[in-house]
A and B are shown apart, each in its own frame.
Chain A
Amino acid sequence: GKSNVHIIYMGERQSKDPECVTESHHEMLELILGSKEAAFKSMVYSYRHGFSGFAARLTESQAQKIAGLPGVVHVLENRFHALQ
């Protein structure tokens, strides 16, 4: 399937250590994609300071799977904003 950027939003971060937060994002992605390499390749951003979540390139079915994991509030597609 075609991959698009999805934002996996997990709300307020559960750890104060940003490294731990990012590590948990990679682990979650690895669980769905099957390998560390695939997880690193897919990851676009780890949101780890102001809140928790990440952006990753995922197919629709991968996005649906990750949406079912604990701690995930929403998984939705990226969209665009414009200057005003």
Chain B
Amino acid sequence: TTRTWDYLHLSSHFPTNLLHETNMGDGIIIGLLDTGVWPESVVFNDEGLGPIPARWKGHCQSGQLFNGTTDCNRKLIGAKFFIDGFLAENIQPFNTTDNPDFMSPRDNIGHGTHTSTIAAGSFVANASYKGLAIGTLRGGAPKARIAMYKVCWNVPMGMCSSADILKAFDEAIHDGVDLLSLSLGTQIPLFAEVDERDGISVGSFHAVTKGIPVICAAANDGPAAQTVHNTAPWILTVAATTLDRSLPTPITLGNNKTILGQAMYGGKEVGFTDLVYPENPGLRPALAGVCESLSFNNTSPVGKVVLCFTAVIRRSAVTAAASAVRAAGGVGVIVARNPVDVLGPCANDFPCVVVDYELGTQILFYIRSTRSPIVKISPSQTLTGKPVATKVATFSSRGPSSISPAILKPDIAAPGVSILAASSPADPFMDGGFALHSGTSMAAPVVSGIVALLKSLHPTWSPAAIRSAIVTTAWKTDPFGEPIFAEGSPRKLANPFDYGGGLINPHKAAEPGLIYDMDTQDYILYMCSAGYNDSSISQLVGDVIVCPNPKPSVLDVNLPSITIPDLKTSVTLTRTVTNVGRVNSVYRAVVEPPFGVTVRVTPNVLVFNSTATKISFKVAVSTRHKVNTGYYFGSLSWIDGVHVVSSPISVRTQILQFYTDDN
């Protein structure tokens, strides 16, 4: 977080901004469902914090190496652990020798410590990972309080059972958290929103209807489409972008050409040394140079740097190559691969630098053109600001939602790549208490920190109002006006299925002008439109519900976005906006229609005054396409001269419906 908040124009150096207007989120309680906390971390210091809010009903639960009385303070005000569902289900007994963990809220993996730091960690000066990403570290709402509900256990990468998650929701609602942050996902195919196998959507429904926003990670199954998780319309679903920060690592070739790879290498410079690419004679010469299965039949890597190529997206290819080269006596590895936005240090400070295929091929051509190729690897540097571009991370799951494609997901994007935050000592990527991690897990608490500030500023706003404010005011470019790309193959301009409304813009979200509000009735409308039966919905909401006949249209759910997945000819949908700005305001509609689509808004001028605070309008959408198309994107913005309330529009023409176009 040493860059995150400056990047989002939420710097603590500016005396008048959302951070200071809200006294840094003081009094707001952020609940996190995660792997626990490392309470000794300096990020949980409570200097300058007032008493614990009187309404707080939670507590800190003692357990293994965790004293509920002394390990908590005015920053970490709640800490509980939930393992009964996990233990009751786990076929093997949970062996904490093989999979170290603590039978307490104490965090072994470091993930919960990391996410809670991002949301609400206290100020820590001069934080870094081995000198990289150095700066002042803090949470989005540095004076907000943290309540950790440990539901994920080290088996070995962190698994969390629905039964435990639901209990954590149950307790968190009772304890009085103001918002909940979850950096968890399930597996595709997803379960329906009323199906408690997705404990998150059921638990979050009850939280949201009680006024508690729930912020969830979109998951890390990108860049393929339809991979977004946590898609219920009451959840705020967060995609991950990069920051304007990178960790260039100079690779100097013997021909004096310097290539900037990426790494988290904090060790000493590897001076000019031999550079090899393992190649075998025969039909498949490149096979020996595949990173995940390096073989050194014809080349000894002793004392050398090895170049390899991989098509594997997971980081395992890099770590496998590093350990193979190291075991064979090599001194470094250069991995050529498609960009994946997940960096990590290699074990034992072994230099492992990644480059893309283009630069990797240049290095290979250098090797092949020289009798004695040599290379120098310098330690990684921290490059901040221009010319580093913002991208939606490769791994960030993409929409449309596979459950309900008419509900735009993800909702919003936030930085989630190489985020420096506190971690626990067992984290292999930790140095001096801090680690750089990537994932939508890291992006979700960025949004949670900002939601804490917004809750502080607007305590009466519903979770839907907060979501609307965030979605309709988001940046469509990076904070400096440059386009946001979506990483993948190939890299392309980002669209709403990559980043929802865009990149979160905290200041604009604080004063959105208009909001698309929703309450339980709207969620009922959604569930009726989704075809859930009356009795399921009635039980869920605790009231007798009879869905209207004919069924309402999912397109009329009062979302701050318009997504039409199956437009055949034309359709008209309704939205209602509430004025939360100046009482007497006039807004005009500005439409950027998707390609080949006509969008008409009626009325196209909205006049608000002391009696007209809420106005409905209709949007007629028709297609001119004669074939089944992919999605085209546009926007509808309401503009009053001060505010721009922008809704993304996504339209797919489906002349032939319920049809997979796989020809």
Contact = CB atoms under 8 A, between A and B. Distances in A.
A11 to B, nearest CB: 3
A66 B351 CA distance: 58
Interface residues of A, number: 32
A49 B199 contact: no
A81 B109 contact: no
A78 B220 contact: no
A11 B539 contact: yes
Interface in B529-551: 535-536, 538-543
Contacts of B441: 83-84
B167 interface: yes
A33 interface: no
A12 B152 contact: no
A44 B163 contact: yes
A12 B536 CA distance: 11
A44 B85 contact: yes
A83 B197 contact: no
Interface in A5-54: 5, 7, 9-14, 18, 44-45, 47-51, 53
A76 interface: yes
Interface string A65-84: 00000010110111111111
B174 A74 contact: no
B174 A49 contact: yes
Given A81-B162, A84-B220, A84-B439, A73 B183 contact: no
B160 interface: yes
A79 B183 contact: no
B88 A82 contact: no
Contacts of B170: 45, 47-51
Contact of A73 (B163, B174, B440, B539): B539
B165 interface: yes
B202 A78 contact: no
Contact of B89 (A49, A78, A81): A78
Contact of A82 (B157, B206, B536, B543): B157
Nearest to A57: B88
Given A9-B196, A47-B170, A50-B173, 8 more contacts: A5-B163, A7-B163, A11-B542, A81-B160, A81-B161, A82-B158, A83-B183, A83-B439
Interface of A: 4-5, 7, 9-14, 18, 44-45, 47-51, 53, 55, 57, 71, 73-74, 76-84
